[in-house]
Structures are given as structure tokens and as C-alpha cells.
Structure 1
């Protein structure tokens, strides 16, 4: 690979969390457990939605897409880190680093778009319940998800093409456990002004823009809830939004933490902590936030596993 001014780059070094050999097994076990919980939890959400016809609604359609993206999001980062720990190698190839950046940006922006679409879905369901199925029809749901993918892919492609123009000098150590775009830009010895401008413009446009859309949706939802005469209706409306609000708060707080910490104090440790939160912890917690108090999902999973158990060969059915 030969970027920028002709300096040949073959690989970067991911410094990870700690160089202490005694901590490596602990870090490996912790992140392996978190990865398996994330994959299993989100797969169960997808399984519940796909197996129960009562859950074939726009809200659960968007939720199953969010679960799929969260699985891909975590898979982009954690397996490579686990392999590096197991093999005691910290290297990642230049192409591998660019690829990881591409999918990291892709799935993080997809998360943002899906959370925004889910806020719109809740707005229509609460403020226009009689016209909900007409407004949020299957065609619109498919179009919203498709447009989210297209915009995320184009943005990720642009960011990576901009990164390919950078050249690097002797310092190829990334003080992180993953390849992040802002960390890679900081290592470049060529002019990074244009890269920073594109990166922060995209962050504002694709991060702050949807967040304003979410706030607008919830301002309308709050107005509708305040206008309800029934206390039970208010509680039910708030309950349907509580899970989504929790996920939005967790995702945006940790994502903003990554960029603000790296831009303001240049602390790799704080940036790593924030990155763990939004790339690992948030996808792991999403299934619990959405399903622990959701009777529909729990009932769908219970019905599925009971059906699978009774249909197994050798199981006596009376």
C-alpha cells in the first residue's frame, strides 16, 4: 500500500488497553464474554421478531434491524482485538485498518439513522394513532431502512477515500484497541486539514442533524402526552418511549465522549473508555433495555423455544 507522498505503509500497531501480560487473560475473557452476550442477545431479538407474526410491525421491524447492525458493529472490532491478544501481536495491516474504519463508521451512522427512524415511528404511533398503519406502511419502512444504508455507505466510503490520501512517517502506533478515523488522522505527517473538515462536517450533519430530529419528535410526543386525559394512557405512551430514550441517551453520550475527549484533552485513555462504551457496551445493553420489560418479546421467545422443544425428534408429545 502506497499512500500520500510515497511512504510505504504495511501495518499499524494497536497499543490496546494495557501492555501488562498479567492483564491480558482478564481483558480477553471480559471482552469475549461481552461479545458473546452481545451476539446472543441481539440474535434473540431478531429471532423473536421473525418467529412471531404479532411482532411484524414497524416498531419491531426497526428494532430487529438495529439488532442486526449492533451485531455487525461489535464484530467489526472485538474479534480482531481478541486475536491480537491471543497471538500476542498488536499489528493490523494498512488495508485492515482502513477496512475496520470503513465498517466502524458505516455501522455507527446506521445506528444513528435507525434510532432517528424509531423516534419518528414512536411520534406517529403516539400523536397519530388512528393513521399509524397508513403513514408508517411497509413501503415506507423499507424505504427508510434502505436510505439509511445508502447514506451510511456513501459517508463511510467518502471518509475512507479521504484517509487514503494521507501519508505517514515513522510513528505508526495507534494508542487504541481499534482503528478509529480520528486516531489515524492524528498519526499522519501530511496535511490533515481537509480530512478534519470532512470528518467534523459529517459528524455534525449525520450526528447532530438526526439528534435534532429525535429531539423534535420527542417534543411533539411530550405535547401529545400532556394533552391526554387518561393517566393510564400517559403511562402507556411514556412506557413505549422509555427504552428508546435510554438507548439514544447511552449511544449519543458515549459517541460524543469519543470526539470531545480526543479533540479537547487529547487523552487516549479517555477516548478508549468512551469507544468501549459505544462500540461494545451499548450494543450489549440494547437487547436488555428493549426486552427485559417487553412482554411481547419475552412471550415470543417463550413460545418459540417451547415449540422447538416439543418438535424435537424423540420428545414425547401427549
Structure 2
């Protein structure tokens, strides 16, 4: 059974088209403004979030960060380049990135910093977030070659030599699990202690964040039975797709695939309505069941979760190691 996103899921299709068009413009203009820079080969611009997932709309912000491959402060060496990149983004993206400092034109790091302290005491939430989003939903805005090479190096850290071929890559899977649990606890901190808005964040946690997690799980599951180098190459292929593309491609014949797409389409359709977003922005946890917009999406989110669970069971039988690995 094949599912045609173009025919059956107009919101998903429209967002994919919009994202592709915007990415093309951003890539062309950033490449043009950096064409004369002597440091262009050392700069890689990465985007995640809705632009990385292929789900952007005119209301979306641009979650991005800049990798600078030099042992010198980027703000001192490439200040003009950074300003030019920021100008391109501001010109085409109306909404600014969040206020945490994890993303945005001012978020500049060395890729080597992403390869160390994984799981250690200096592996901050900021580092974990950038690393996992780079893998799970990242795409490039500038320097595609370096972006792909960096992703491969990161996978080489997560997929260890000497591990049994028949097993799923536990280090990779555990990092994905840890990140998802961090998202959930971070949500509680932001809404309870930092007094951030509750409703819209909760709905995104129920849909897009859950999809992010699930689409990472299935990459790990697909690597069972492959030798290390084949595991890395297969992971690169799968991570080069959006989460929905992975689900659809790997689950063409599964009954649960259509239900996942249908419920995710409903989520995106609801959020495309300004009145719904405004209602969700206002609703707080204590009054959530008095908000019809929230209640409707909460119901759909249960259907979405059930469909994901059914997909996993349908795709990977009870003997597949992914089920054991997710529990123990």
C-alpha cells in the first residue's frame, strides 16, 4: 500500500514545498555572500527544527547554528561573514529563534566540541540538544560537504567497533532516548519554574517532539544485522531523510503508516489556524480541559501515539532487539 502525501495530506505537502523553496533561497544567498571569504571552507551553517523536518511555514522561526573549523573565536575572525549570514536570515525569516542561545546566528561552535564529553559531566543540555538535532533532523544551509562529513564523524562516535552486528547500536539509541527524556523534563522546568507558555509547548511535545524521537528509534532498529561500516552508511542515508519520509519509506506496506500521517496532518492543520495557535498560547495546565482547541489536539495525540506503537510492532516482530533495548 502506497500513501501519496500530495493527494491525501495537503498540510504536510504544503509545508514540505514551502520549506524546500525557502531552503533553496537561503542556501543560494548565503553561498553568494560567502563566496569571497577566505574562510568559506571552514564555515558550515546548520538548521534544525521545522526547517530541518521539512515542516516550515511563514510563521516558523529558523533554528540554526554555525560551525567554524578554526581554533580562533569566530566573532573575531569572521565577523563580516557572520553579519552577512544574519542579514540573509533576517531578510527571509520574520520570526527570531528562541532566547536560550542554543540556536540563532549568534550560536557558533567548533564541531570538535560536539565529539567530546558525550555523556560526561560537561555534556550540557545545550550540547546534547545540538548534537542530537544535528543527527535527527538537521540539514545544511551552507557547506553541504562538511555537513555530511561531520554527520559521519558523529555517527562513528556513536556506532562503536567491536559491537555485535546482530545488535542495534546501543550508544546511539541511548543518546536518542536520553535526549527525548531531557526534552520532557526541560518542558516541565520551562513551564513550572521559568513560567513559559504551556499549551503550545505541550502539543508540540505530543507530536513533533515525539515524531523526532520515534524516527530516531527506527534508524537504530534498521541497523540490526549490519557490519559497522554498513551501519554508518545506512544511518547516513536514513538521517538524510525527514522523520516522516523515514516512516513512510520504511513502512510503505504497514497499516499504521496511514494513521500516523493522518494524525500528523491533523496536528499541522490545527496549528496552521491562527485562532488555534492563539488559544494554545494562552492555555495553562490548570485550565487545559476548558480549552476546546487543546482537548481536540490532545485526543488526536493519543491516536498518534497508538499509531506509532502499532507501527513499531508491525515493522519489527517481537524477536527484534529494538523492543528489549527500549526497556533495558
TM-score range, shorter chain: 0.3 to 0.5
TM-score, normalised relative to structure 1 = 0.35
TM-score, normalised relative to structure 2 = 0.35
Higher relative contact order (CA 8 A, sep 6+): 1
Instruction: Give the structure with the larger helix fraction.
Output: 1
